[in-house]
Chains A and B, each alone.
Chain A
Amino acid sequence: MNFAESIFARKFLIAESDLERYLAAALSTAGDYADVYIEHVTSTALSIDGSIVKTATQGMSLGAGVRVVSGERTGYAHSDSLAPESVLKAARIAARIAHGPSLVTKTGFEEVQKPDLYSMLAAPAESALDKRVELIKRADAAARASDPRVTDVHVVYADNLRQVLVATSEGRLSCDRQPLTRISVTALARGMDGAVGEGRAGGGGRVALDFFQTDKTPEYFGGEAARQALVQISAGEAPVGEMTVVLGSGWPGILIHEAVGHGLEADFNRKTLSAFTGRIGERVASPLCTIVDDGTIPNGRGSLNVDDEGTPTRRNVLIENGILCGYLQDKLSGALMRARLTGNGRRENYQFAPVPRMTNTFLLAGGSDPDEIVRGVGRGLYCARFGGGQVDITNGNFAFTATECYLIEAGRLTRPVRWATLIGNGPESLKHVSMVGHDLRLDEGVGVCRKDGQNIPIGVGMPTTRIDNVTVGGVAQ
């Protein structure tokens, strides 16, 4: 989508000359760089609780943010209105970060060339409401029908359509239309002995609504949440201590996100705060590990045609055969570190300045057969699903929680165990990766990452992977 076709030119009647005026005000105090970010978001959330459609909410938000960069300094201000005087005021406030005479700014814009990673006729946000309500009803019914021990089901459907414009003082202009949708199901099951199990499933992406008919149906998500809840009620005592862990393919890639991804975000490294700072060219993982962050996966939840600074996204190799290759950059850190932009400048919405963030981050497939990986473990833990995780980027220590896991005894999965938190150290634990499967999978599309108070959608992935010497803290009954 180009500027002329965008909602900003057509509905809000913004002209290139307006954008030039805002940028001139932003650079009126001699800043080095400025950008104007304009965003229009419509969102819908529907939920079912106790089999009744309990919440139906729609929202609209519109605003513009102006950023001025002067050396290492950033000024940021935003406006809830696109009225020129209001955006100009934000530009003047942001400009207070710099001190100096007004610079001559460029006139005219060149539109950024970008791919079309999520083209669709109608975004989910533009589809009939009844069709969207139908999806949560089907997921609810499927979860309840799967087993009489399923007692409670909670389903949420959420979509949004985010339309953005970025105009920069370098004379670049980009517009994008970013649809996003997901279904999430939580199911509870209760066993005869009073044991409670909780299962969660969900998915989506930058996809049209028919994804839920052709790819992953509401019945699949409902059934999957119920299955996990049932596994939990029969789960026993989890192991404790250091052991070999096998991570299943897909969502366990959250390990890569926490253990490596955050520590490679350029802002932390520019400020020498990360456990990975100054280690480019060094071995930080087993030679079996090649890790990429790829914002160009068609319809991926973490994918973007352009990032929130107007830079086209790319496939960036972060670690190649165990050697650290590069960081995830935004414009501020990229300029200060003299590094090539990677398309990772992202923000939650117009109220925030962008920072380096991940898109879709995963470990590439290796050569091992997934079954063989399990067969080779005498005693250990197999983790099929994870809840969330967290990392301290300075010392590299991370923790994440397995929500569906099984004991491995003599090369076989013997019994399910309760939730267990796994901890490790980013630059150390990946050195203990001893087998990587050929079954790379991405997660199903529900990931949210939080940094500096900003939540953004992301994707993760990995093949079946064996890691030795992981500390596991399981819950005893």
Chain B
Amino acid sequence: MSELERLARQGVLLALDQGATNAECTIAEGEQLSLRVRMHALEQIEEAIRRGAGIRVLKGNRAGSATTNDMSAEGVSRMVGCALDLARIASEDPFAGLPGPGDLARCSDDLGIYSKDVTELNTEERVALARAAEEAALQLDPRMVGSEGATFGAYVGHHVFANSLEFCRSYRTTNCSLSVSAVARQNDGMQRDYYCSSSRSAAGLESPEDVGRAAAGRALRRLNPRRIVTQKAPVIFEPRAAGSLVGHLFNAVNGSNICRGMSFLGGRLGKKIASELLTLIDDSQIPGLLGTSPFDDEGVRGGRTIVIENGVLNSYLLNTYSARRLGLKTTGNAKRGLAGSACVGHGNLFITGPRPPAGHDSSGIAGFRQAATDEFPPSLPPGLPDSLLVTGLVGRGVNTTTGDYSQGAVGFWVENAEIAYPVSDIVISGKLQQMLMDIEWIGSDLAFRSSLASPTLLVGRMMVAGR
């Protein structure tokens, strides 16, 4: 048992000693290094070691919690006392509690989420990677005039969880990223875009040349945008933009939001809520991905949840609390910071095309690529009418309670199935309910660049506000 595991267990035992009926303790430790190169020179280095502990105690059905970054025995003891005090003021909550003992993870498989090579690079090598990435962006074209910098980041984390059901386990993760934000200028117009490659291992990163060229390519393609007239049009979401739709879908199937009435998908289990082309899967056990972990933040082993299957809402994403309130079983999607009641999170949440009959492709993600260099244009459906290809979205105009969707967008006008010109200053709007039904085509370019992933999507008709 590691020192931190011992500390977490001590926190739990201390709480039980002082009158808690149940307790759970989270300890997280992380070492982060990030550096930025801008216009060929090293601009910033930040190094940080973050440690923190959190405890949640239950006195019967009343919960209290506290956090601290004072990891001494005294600090932990003060934290436990504080949480017990707070449990007094909380209300009786019949659904509050720990997971069932049978739900807890039993073993920690090697899921390929820790890679030593992340820590093995020295500062000079890291600077060299960032410099090469920025260089590739600036050299791609004479119109590349500036950069907001190239950033290399490395993270090594240790996550520990213990509860009063004698669960006490931990896992280590690594994370590594290389990104460039580049500026292109032509005439009076300036456009900036970025590209980021993230991986659990340094070896999994795309090459600095590919990262730099991808960022520059995105900025250059946005130069000299036009406005278009207000109209209804088919809208294609390239993978990065489609990933934001997966994020909205996550909010809509998040069990906590369902319990609070804050989702347009409340009460719709078993119903057809999307085009039969759409399947949405959450899987926290796919080796090596950014959303992978051996157990969730309540100690429950996550797995694969088919959330939407061929357009039918099959399951919500649940933690123990929301599952109990809804009379369902946890899907192993508990998520929290250091303390507090767990919220709901996601593992690797992704859209795939229609699922073949059982027995053929049990993974559902055959042929996916963990990292693929930015492709432009993305694959487009055959026979595509004139339409809008969205590559970037801005704003906060999505409400998953009502399904209202209204976002500023940039992208390209597509004519005769070819990119005609870049467009900006437009707003696309609709209702998420309708957008899901109107998905007419799903590409085969799924790649896991983040824990939310989607191939290119075509939504049949949306309102596009312009001139």
Chain B associates with chain A: yes
Residues of A in contact with B (beta carbons under 8 Å apart): 45-46, 49-50, 52-63, 72-78, 80, 93-94, 96-97, 129-130, 133, 151-152, 154, 186, 188, 196-198, 232, 238, 240-242, 271-273, 275, 351, 353, 387-392, 394-395, 397-401, 418-425, 471-477
A130: nearest residue on chain B (CB-CB)? B89
* B65 contact from A49, A57, A61, A422, Cβ within 8 A: A57
Residues of A within 8 A of B339 (CB): 57, 59
How distant is the Cα of A96 from the Cα of B45 in the complex, in angstroms?
Answer: 9
* B463 contact from A55, A57, A473, Cβ within 8 A: A473
Residues of A within 8 A of B429 (CB): 238, 240, 420-421, 473-476
Residue of B64, B83, B87, B429 with most chain A CB atoms under a 10 A cut-off: B429
**Is A73 within 8 A of B92, CB to CB?**
no
Q: A94-B47, A152-B261 are in contact. List 6 more A-B contacts (CB 8 A).
A: A80-B50, A198-B402, A351-B50, A401-B395, A475-B406, A475-B430
How distant is the Cα of A477 from the Cα of B405 in the complex, in angstroms?
Answer: 11
Chain B interface size, as a band, is 35 or more
Residues of B within 8 A of A74 (CB): 43-45
5 contacts between A and B (CB under 8 A): A52-B90, A57-B340, A398-B408, A423-B426, A474-B429
B51: nearest residue on chain A (CB-CB)? A80
Residues of B within 8 A of A77 (CB): 46-48
**Is B396 within 8 A of A401, CB to CB?**
yes
A475-B405 contact in complex given A56-B63, A77-B46, A395-B192, C-beta closer than 8 Å: yes
A352: nearest residue on chain B (CB-CB)? B46
Residue of B54, B259, B402 with most chain A CB atoms under a 10 A cut-off: B402
Residues of B within 8 A of A94 (CB): 47
Residues of A within 8 A of B65 (CB): 55-58
**Is A57 within 8 A of B191, CB to CB?**
no
How distant is the Cα of A78 from the Cα of B86 in the complex, in angstroms?
Answer: 31
* A399 contact from B41, B92, B395, Cβ within 8 A: B395
- CB of B428 within 8 Å of the partner chain: yes
- Mark each residue of chain B from 268 to 296: 1 if its CB lies under 8 Å from any CB of chain A, else 0: 00000000000000000000000000000
* A473 contact from B50, B87, B260, B427, Cβ within 8 A: B427
**Is A397 within 8 A of B146, CB to CB?**
no
Residues of B in contact with A (beta carbons under 8 Å apart): 38, 41-52, 54, 63-71, 78-79, 82-83, 85-87, 89-93, 123, 146, 148, 183, 189-192, 230, 259-262, 264, 338-341, 394-397, 399, 401-402, 404-408, 410, 424-431, 463-467
B145: nearest residue on chain A (CB-CB)? A272
**Is B190 within 8 A of A418, CB to CB?**
no
**Is A198 within 8 A of B407, CB to CB?**
no
How distant is the Cα of A419 from the Cα of B52 in the complex, in angstroms?
Answer: 39
* B68 contact from A54, A59, A397, Cβ within 8 A: A59
Residues of A within 8 A of B189 (CB): 395
**Is B191 within 8 A of A394, CB to CB?**
yes
**Is B67 within 8 A of A471, CB to CB?**
no
How distant is the Cα of A422 from the Cα of B48 in the complex, in angstroms?
Answer: 39
**Is B401 within 8 A of A188, CB to CB?**
yes
A97: nearest residue on chain B (CB-CB)? B45
Residues of B within 8 A of A473 (CB): 397, 406-408, 426-429, 463-465
**Is B406 within 8 A of A419, CB to CB?**
yes
* B192 contact from A50, A75, A392, A471, Cβ within 8 A: A392
**Is A56 within 8 A of B90, CB to CB?**
yes
How distant is the Cα of A472 from the Cα of B463 in the complex, in angstroms?
Answer: 11
Residues of B within 8 A of A399 (CB): 394-395, 397, 407-408, 427
**Is B43 within 8 A of A72, CB to CB?**
yes
By Cβ-Cβ distance, the 3 closest A-B pairs, closest first, are A473-B427, A399-B408, A399-B395
Determine how close the nearest CB of chain B comes to the CB of A112; give it in whole angstroms.
26
* B38 contact from A152, A240, A271, A397, Cβ within 8 A: A271
**Is A421 within 8 A of B407, CB to CB?**
yes
A387-B465 contact in complex given A52-B91, A130-B89, C-beta closer than 8 Å: no
Residues of B within 8 A of A392 (CB): 192, 394
**Is A59 within 8 A of B404, CB to CB?**
no
Residues of B within 8 A of A401 (CB): 395-397, 406
Residue of A76, A154, A421, A425 with most chain B CB atoms under a 10 A cut-off: A421
Determine how close the nearest CB of chain B comes to the CB of A32; give it in whole angstroms.
14
A78: nearest residue on chain B (CB-CB)? B48
How distant is the Cα of A94 from the Cα of B466 in the complex, in angstroms?
Answer: 49
**Is B394 within 8 A of A242, CB to CB?**
no
Determine how close the nearest CB of chain A comes to the CB of B171; give it in whole angstroms.
21
* B260 contact from A49, A61, A62, A420, Cβ within 8 A: A49
**Is A273 within 8 A of B70, CB to CB?**
no
B227: nearest residue on chain A (CB-CB)? A471
How distant is the Cα of A45 from the Cα of B79 in the complex, in angstroms?
Answer: 15
* B262 contact from A188, A271, A398, Cβ within 8 A: A188
A61: nearest residue on chain B (CB-CB)? B69
How distant is the Cα of A397 from the Cα of B409 in the complex, in angstroms?
Answer: 10
Residues of A within 8 A of B404 (CB): 418-419, 475
How distant is the Cα of A30 from the Cα of B406 in the complex, in angstroms?
Answer: 52
A242: nearest residue on chain B (CB-CB)? B467
Residues of A within 8 A of B46 (CB): 75-77, 353
* A400 contact from B68, B69, B341, B395, Cβ within 8 A: B395
* B401 contact from A97, A196, A477, Cβ within 8 A: A196
How distant is the Cα of A256 from the Cα of B431 in the complex, in angstroms?
Answer: 28
Determine how close the nearest CB of chain B comes to the CB of A307; give it in whole angstroms.
19
* B396 contact from A188, A351, A387, A395, Cβ within 8 A: A387
* A93 contact from B47, B430, B463, Cβ within 8 A: B47
Residues of A within 8 A of B396 (CB): 387-390, 400-401
Determine how close the nearest CB of chain B comes to the CB of A178; give it in whole angstroms.
19
Determine how close the nearest CB of chain A comes to the CB of B283; give it in whole angstroms.
27
How distant is the Cα of A56 from the Cα of B91 in the complex, in angstroms?
Answer: 10
How distant is the Cα of A303 from the Cα of B464 in the complex, in angstroms?
Answer: 40
Determine how close the nearest CB of chain A comes to the CB of B436; give it in whole angstroms.
15
A56-B64 contact in complex given A421-B427, A475-B429, C-beta closer than 8 Å: yes
How distant is the Cα of A473 from the Cα of B50 in the complex, in angstroms?
Answer: 43
**Is A273 within 8 A of B192, CB to CB?**
yes
How distant is the Cα of A195 from the Cα of B341 in the complex, in angstroms?
Answer: 30
B219: nearest residue on chain A (CB-CB)? A394
**Is A60 within 8 A of B69, CB to CB?**
yes
How distant is the Cα of A188 from the Cα of B400 in the complex, in angstroms?
Answer: 12
Residues of B within 8 A of A474 (CB): 406, 429, 463, 465
**Is B466 within 8 A of A471, CB to CB?**
yes
How distant is the Cα of A152 from the Cα of B90 in the complex, in angstroms?
Answer: 19
A351: nearest residue on chain B (CB-CB)? B48
* B425 contact from A154, A387, A388, A397, Cβ within 8 A: A397
Determine how close the nearest CB of chain B comes to the CB of A433; give it in whole angstroms.
18
Residues of A within 8 A of B89 (CB): 46, 53, 56, 129-130, 133
* A55 contact from B63, B71, B408, B430, Cβ within 8 A: B63
**Is A152 within 8 A of B41, CB to CB?**
no
**Is A58 within 8 A of B82, CB to CB?**
yes
* B399 contact from A55, A56, A419, A476, Cβ within 8 A: A419
How distant is the Cα of A9 from the Cα of B146 in the complex, in angstroms?
Answer: 46
Residues of B within 8 A of A387 (CB): 396-397
